Amino acid sequence: MMTTEERLRFIVTKVEQSPLPDPEKLKLYTAMREGIKACVMPVLLKNMSKEQLDRLNTHLDEVTPEKFVELVTSALRTPDVYTDMDELLGQVLDSYEKTLQEYHIID
């Protein structure tokens, strides 16, 4: 079984080797990037403490870039964050692979 990183490399390699024109490949890469980025914030929010979320919610206007980095760093220290991220990214990659199979880019 491939790791998430190996799956992503496999997908990118298959797209790169496909006969698609470069502008179409760029569109695919852009869509993939956006999908992956969309996975990050929900997982981070899920792994923040209730106190952090309450503070963020009630004092959003006071969140500086430094405080935001602090919140993200704190969430990254939780034990489940990487498992959650890997699971969600796995689902996203499943979707990418299915789509690429439909277009005969992946066998």
> d(Cα 21, Cα 14) in Å, to the nearest integer?
13
* Side chain identity at residue 84, one-letter code: D
pLDDT for position 34: 93
39 in any annotated domain: yes
| pLDDT digits 0-9 by tens, 62-95 | 888 998 899 899 999 998 999 999 999 999 999 9
pLDDT for position 60: 86
48 three-class SS: coil
| pLDDT digits 0-9 by tens, 40-69 | 989 999 999 999 888 888 988 888 899 889
How many domains are there within the chain? 1
83 in any annotated domain: yes
> d(Cα 104, Cα 40) in Å, to the nearest integer?
29
pLDDT for position 62: 86
Residues 6+ apart with CB under 8 A from 32: 11, 96
Q: Specify the range with the lowest mean pLDDT, choosing from 11-15, 22-26, 71-75, 93-97.
A: 71-75
Residue 47 sits in which domain range?
32-100
Q: Hey, which bits of 1-107 come out as E strands? A: none
> d(Cα 59, Cα 54) in Å, to the nearest integer?
8
- The percentage of residues in the chain with a pLDDT greater than 70, rounded to a whole number, is 100
